[in-house]
Each structure stands twice: as C-alpha cells, then as structure tokens.
Amino acid sequence: MNASESNEVKPAGETGSDGPSAARFYGLVVVAVVVVAIGVVAGLLPRIRQRTALAAEQGGKAIPSVMVVMPEPNRWGGGILIPAEIKPWVEASIHARANGFLKRWLTDMGAKVEAGQLLAEIETPELDQELERARHELAQAEAALELSKITAERYADLVKTASVSEQENAEKQADFKLKTANVAAAQANVRRLENMQSFGRVIAPFAGTVTARKTDVGELVAANGGQELFRLAQMDKLRVQVRVPQPEAVGIVPGVVGELLIPEQPGRVFTGQVARTSGEISSDSRTLLVELEVDNAHGEILAGSFAQVRFPGGKKGGRLVLPANTLLFRPEGPQVGVVQPDGKVEMRTVQLGRDFGQFVEILGGVNPTNHVLVNPPDSLTNGTTVKVTEVVKLETLMPGTGMPGPGRPGQGMPGAGMGKPGMQGQGMQGEGMQGEGMPGAGKGEAGKGKREP
C-alpha cells in the first residue's frame, strides 16, 4: 500500500486514538468546576449569614439606650422657704407695781407656774405707813359723820317748832352731807392703798414658764419705770410670723396649712395653720404679714428660734420639676432632650425657676407627659434616635432617696461600634458612678458584636 492510501480520510463516526482521552479530560474539568462552585457556595453562605447577623446586631447597637423621666408638679420643694420668727402664744414682762425691797422670790428660770401662783414678795414699809394713816383718817371722818348726823336730825326737829331758823337747819343738813362725802373719800383712799399693798405679792397672770428672773432678795424695787422682775411665756402653742412675698401671697388665707422647718432639727417638718393675715401688702417690703398657729404641746420647738416656712398648697397650679442632670447648658439657653414617640430626640429650651440642688423648677418648655432624657450627652442634637429602656420615677431622684446611676448592669449606654469585622470600634459603655448618675466612657468591641464587661 502506497502513501496515498495511508492518508485517506476515515469515514464519519470514526475517531482517532486520542478521542476518548479528550472526552475524559473535558468531563473532569466540568466536574472540578462544579465541585469548586459547590465549595465556594458552601463556604460563603455561613459568612454571608454571619455578616448579615453582625450587621443587624451592629445596627441595634448603634441606637443608644437611654433612661427618661417625666416632669411632675413640685411636691417635694413645696413653696419657697421664707424666713420666719417663732414667738410664744402669750408672753409678758412682770414688773413691780409697788415701791419697796424684794423680800423673797419663789420661782426661778424654767419653772412651770399656774395662773395666780405667787412668784415673789416685796416689802413695802412706806406704803404700809400710808395705809395705816389712811385708816386713821377714815376713823376721824366716820366720827365726824356720826356727830353731824345727830346734829342734823336735832335741827330738823327744832325747825318744826321754830326753835331754830331755816338757815341754821339748812347749814346742819349740808354739813351732814359733807361729812358723808368725806367718809366715802377716806374709804376709797384706804381701798386704793390696800390694793397697792397687795401688789407686794407678785403673782403669775397666766399659766406658763418663767423664762427669766432678773431680781434677787434685798434689791430695790421701783413701781414706775423699774426693772423687769420676771418674764413669763406660754409656749404650749406658738405664733409663727412670716412675711410672704407678693408673688407667693396668692391663696394665703386663714386655714391654709404651712410647713415649719427648723435648721437645728433636719428632716423634721412641723405643720401649722394660718390663723390671720394683715390683709394688705406692705408698701415698704411688698410682703404680706402672715401668722400661723403651731401646736407645741410636747415642747419640741423653742420659742424665739429662727425657722423657715413654706406653703405647699398656697399657690395654685404646681410648677414642674426635673432632675438637675437632665439639663444641657448651651448658647441658646438651658435645654432638655425630649424623646418623641418615634424615638427621635427633640431639643427644647426651657425656662428655669428655683434651683433646689438635685432638682430644678421648670417654668416652661415641657409638660407632664414628656419623656426627658436623664444624663444626656453633650453631643446630643435634634433628630438623634434613641431607645428608651427605663422610665425613672421622679421620687427616686429626690433628695434623701438616692440618685440612681445609669451605669448599673443592663442600664448603660451600649457602644455604637461602626468598625469592620475584626476591627476595634469605639462606643459608650454605662460605667457611671453609683449614686451620681454620670455615664463613663468605655470601648465596645463592635467587630465582634460584644461590649466589654
């Protein structure tokens, strides 16, 4: 067979010796591609799920969790504290009414006495002599009256027989009337001196406590302009006088209850009722003079003490109060962050009233239905989205009840880490000081979706 025959074309459907090898190669390639594709899909799906979950978690952590408080009427500070003066219900300075020397005193400072009880005795030698003389003069007047009476009766009988003239009878009758008047005058003088002599016994005009004794045995006592012997006060009930400023005087009428606070007795609140008012605003001080009656049956309040009075129910329409740690002081004025129902923050400028330390009176800008942020960050702006985790009761933020700290477990502000997986993110962690409510700055590991403990 020649070369031309060897190069003849093979019939269709027949393949060369390398045909099966090429088919197997292409088949293996297809299988390998499918296996690689399956491996890639199998490896990427968990990562996609993890990344989706991480993104969702990071999205939740990016919204800060906050505590809010609702403004309430001022039920703790009441009204403003007004200086007041505590006075005894009845007080008297006991002076001598008779001249002499103190013979003895029977009660000393601090003694409880009853009405009419003897406090001291005064020796009155001069007055005693005057009384004795007056009594003798009375005896003379009575003797002269007796003689004049007999003479007048005799002349009355003689004039009927014309034994004496009418003139003489008239003179005797007039002399009898004169002697009668002299006796009455002498009797009045004796009674006056007896009363003066009775003033030698110094007695208590009412039941009370002797708050001062300013004399001693043998001391000269003068009736006119003399020194004070005793001071007596009735203190089972007290008068509290206070001058209420004109803006606070609205509604202060008899019967209104006032609260009495004494610096020496912290935590104690005594109550009293308004007994009377002056009824007019003083043009000098623009205040209303108010007097309260306070029961002091147990003697817990000392008369003469300085005190402060407030009228919780005196002014109509209670003013709202908020904790001091809800305020942000900015160029626009003091502001608070109010959380709207959709979670957005609205910055509101408020008008401040009185500052009570841990809480402040709010005159305008918020209402009792608003949710106000506690411890808002300085960077807070309008439209910030937050998540309310707790509505704090205002009572827990009042003095004496403690200030809850937002850094307690589960109440901190979560870190808003925005880093990529594996990268360190910066966030805020609630590590506030207990009792101060001041948030601390922490670092949240955003890449792993966790916060540091």
Q: What is the pLDDT of residues 348-360, one digit of tens each?
A: 999 988 777 788 8
Nearest to 76 by CA among 264, 292, 357, 287: 357
User: For 164-191, what is the mean pLDDT?
Assistant: 94
Lowest mean pLDDT among 74-83, 245-254, 380-389, 396-405: 396-405
Measured over the CA atoms of residue 204, residue 205, residue 209 and residue 212, the dihedral's sign is negative
Cβ pair 425, 419 in contact under 8 A: yes
pLDDT for residue 415: 37
Mean pLDDT value across residues 392-421? 46
pLDDT of residue 29: 79
418/426 Cα distance (integer angstroms): 8
Task: State the virtual CA torsion across 71, 77, 79, 83 in degrees, nearest 10.
Answer: -160
Residue 360: its pLDDT value, please?
A: 87
- In the prediction, which pLDDT does 142 show? 94
Q: How confident is the model at residue 405 (pLDDT cuts 50, 70, 90)?
A: very low
Structure tokens at 154: 């005799």
For the record, the structure tokens of 372 come out as 């106000």
Backbone angles phi, psi at 323, to 5 degrees: -60, 145
Q: How confident is the model at residue 3 (pLDDT cuts 50, 70, 90)?
A: very low
Least confident range of 11-20, 153-162, 216-225: 11-20
Token pair for residue 121?
Answer: 């005795």
> Can you tell me the distance from the alpha carbon of 343 to that of 399, in angstroms, rounded to the nearest whole number?
30
Model confidence at 427, in pLDDT bands (50, 70, 90)? very low
Rounded to whole angstroms, how far apart are CA atoms 375 and 325? 5
State the residue for tokens 């990529």.
Answer: 420
pLDDT at 414: 38
**CA 429/CA 440 separation, integer angstroms:** 7
Res 448: pLDDT: 39
- Does position 400 have pLDDT exceeding 70, yes or no? no
Q: Quick one: pLDDT band at residue 179, thresholds 50, 70, 90?
A: very high
Please give the share of the chain, as a percent, with pLDDT higher than 90: 49
| Closest by Cα among 405, 344, 409 to 380 | 344
Q: List, by residue range, all CATH 1.10.287.470 domains of the chain.
A: 92-212
- At residue 117, the pLDDT reads 95
Region 442-452 average pLDDT:
39
- Is residue 34 very low, low, confident or very high in pLDDT (cuts 50, 70, 90)? confident
Report residue 410 as tokens.
Answer: 């589960």
Q: How far apart are CA 412 and CA 377, in angstroms?
A: 13
User: Is residue 339 predicted with pLDDT exceeding 60?
Assistant: yes
Mean pLDDT over 351-377 rounds to 87
**Which pLDDT does position 443 carry in this prediction?**
39
Instruction: Report pLDDT for 397.
Output: 64
Q: Can you give the pLDDT at residue 318?
A: 59
pLDDT confidence bin for 178, thresholds 50/70/90: very high
Give me the pLDDT at residue 416, please: 37
Residue 23, pLDDT score: 77
Residue ranges matching CATH 2.40.420.20 in the chain: 65-75+318-404
Point out which residues pair with 87 in neighbouring strands.
239
Q: How far does the chain reach from its first CA to its final CA, in angstroms?
A: 94
- Long-range pairs for 2-6 at CB < 8 Å and ≥24 separation? none
3-class SS letters over the chain: CCHHHHCCCCCCCCCCCCHHHHHHHHHHHHHHHHHHHHHHHHHHHHHHHHHHHHHHHHHHHCCCEEEEECCEECCCCCCCCEEEEEEEEEEEEECCCCCEEEEEECCCCCCEECCCCEEEEEECHHHHHHHHHHHHHHHHHHHHHHHHHHHHHHHHHHHHHCCCCHHHHHHHHHHHHHHHHHHHHHHHHHHHHHHHHHCCEEECCCCEEEEEECCCCCCEECCCCCCCCEEEEEEEEEEEEEEEEHHHCCCCCCCCEEEEECCCCCCCCEEEEEEEEEEEECCCCCEEEEEEEEECCCCCCCCCCEEEEECCCCCCCCCEEEEHHHCEEECCEEEEEEECCCCEEEEEECEEEEECCCEEEEEECCCCCCEEECCCCCCCCCCCECEEEEEECHHHHCCCCCCCCCCCCCCCCCCCCCCCCCCCCCCCCCCCCCCCCCCCCCCEEHHHCEECC
The architecture of the domain spanning 65-75+318-404 is: Beta Barrel (2.40)
Q: Which CATH class is domain 92-212?
A: mainly alpha
pLDDT tens digits for range 196-231: 999 999 999 999 999 999 999 999 988 877 789 999
Residue 278 reports pLDDT greater than 90: yes
Average pLDDT of span 15-39: 72
pLDDT of residue 281: 93
- What is the reported pLDDT for 20? 66
Average pLDDT taken over every residue of the chain? 80
Split at pLDDT 50, 70, 90, the class of 262 is very high
